[in-house]
Amino acid sequence: MKRAGVLVVFAKAPRPGEVKTRLCPPLTPEQAAEFYGAMLDDVLETSSRAAGHLDLEPVLTVHPPDACAALARRAPLPFRVVRQRGASLAERMQWAVSEALATGARRVLLRGSDSPTLDEAALATALHALDDHDLALRPDRDGGYTLVGVRREAAELFAHPMSSDRVLEQTLENAGRLGFSASIGEIGFDVDTGLDLSHLRHILGQCHEGVCPHTRRWLQNYDLRKNKDLT
């Protein structure tokens, strides 16, 4: 029996100078890589649980390719680990959708690894939106989105720059030209800047201790180290 769909998590190797560079400062490149790794661990655990509950195949797509083995060891079962394909993020997203649909998936969810508070409820909402829409998007505060759901081939859907404040707008424009019906969810956020980091702290302060345990623990240890350095 076919599953309800595929959940694809996009991830990078947590290497200093290659991830979360806009967090430097206040973080050092080494700290930014550690912090990204903590968020990735939370995202993988949340996505694995959600995939089981929502009857989705979990796929971890990795960049660069030589990080596949290390991230495969890091990912909980039953993630299928593949390398990202394409020169740009837009091409890699389109490939991920095409690859999932080619396996017979009826619905495909794509999420990044820097939005640790994006939970199972948000994934379920996007998945169910695809019952009646071709495209489901969860916007973020910067004009992009933290979650994409697609049920049709996405040729040209992401054919625009992916690092501007018009990403959501341009994706919807492309969707209109392709004849895609779209559902827009609640606003979420990913963590790219110091302001995002402050917002994450605020959100975690309002959640129970079981939410984002790896990210929460890293931030607590970071604060301890910082305060120790000041004394």
Distance between alpha carbon 172 and the CA centroid of its chain, in Å?
A: 19
Predicted pLDDT at 42: 98
Residue 194 burial by Cβ neighbours in a 10 Å radius (0-12, 13-18, 19+):
middle
* Rg of the Cα atoms in the chain: 17
User: Is 138 in a helix, a strand, or coil?
Assistant: strand
pLDDT greater than 80 at residue 2: no
**pLDDT, mean over the chain:** 95
Residue 151 confidence class, pLDDT cut points 50, 70, 90 = very high
Residues whose CB is less than 8 angstroms from the CB of residue 135 and which lie 6 or more positions away in sequence, other chains included: 148, 149, 150, 151, 157, 171, 175, 180, 181, 182, 183
Predicted pLDDT at 154: 84
Separation between Cα atoms, residue 219 and residue 228, nearest integer Å: 14
CATH number of 5-230: 3.90.550.10
Predicted pLDDT at 230: 59
Give pLDDT tens digits for 4-19: 999 999 999 999 999 9
Domain boundary assignment for the chain: 5-230
Residue 63 confidence class, pLDDT cut points 50, 70, 90 = very high
Percent of the chain with pLDDT over 90: 91
Residue 1 confidence class, pLDDT cut points 50, 70, 90 = low
Predicted pLDDT at 163: 83
Q: pTM here? A: 0.95
Q: Are 153 and 179 in contact (CB under 8 A)?
A: no
Separation between Cα atoms, residue 42 and residue 114, nearest integer Å: 10
pLDDT greater than 90 at residue 225: no
Higher pLDDT, 154 or 167: 167
Give pLDDT tens digits for 158-200: 999 988 899 999 999 999 999 999 999 999 999 999 999 999 9
Separation between Cα atoms, residue 212 and residue 205, nearest integer Å: 11
Separation between Cα atoms, residue 38 and residue 99, nearest integer Å: 28
Tell me what the mean pLDDT of segment 27-47 comes to.
Answer: 98
Give pLDDT tens digits for 105-124: 999 999 999 999 999 999 99
Task: Spell 85-123 as b/e; 16+ CB within 10 A means b.
Answer: eeeebbebbbbbbebbbeeebebbbbbbbbbbbbbeebb
Residues whose CB is less than 8 angstroms from the CB of residue 130 and which lie 6 or more positions away in sequence, other chains included: 5, 107, 136, 149, 150, 151, 183
Regarding beta strands 56-63 and 108-111, do their DSSP bridges make them parallel or antiparallel, or are they unpaired?
Answer: unpaired
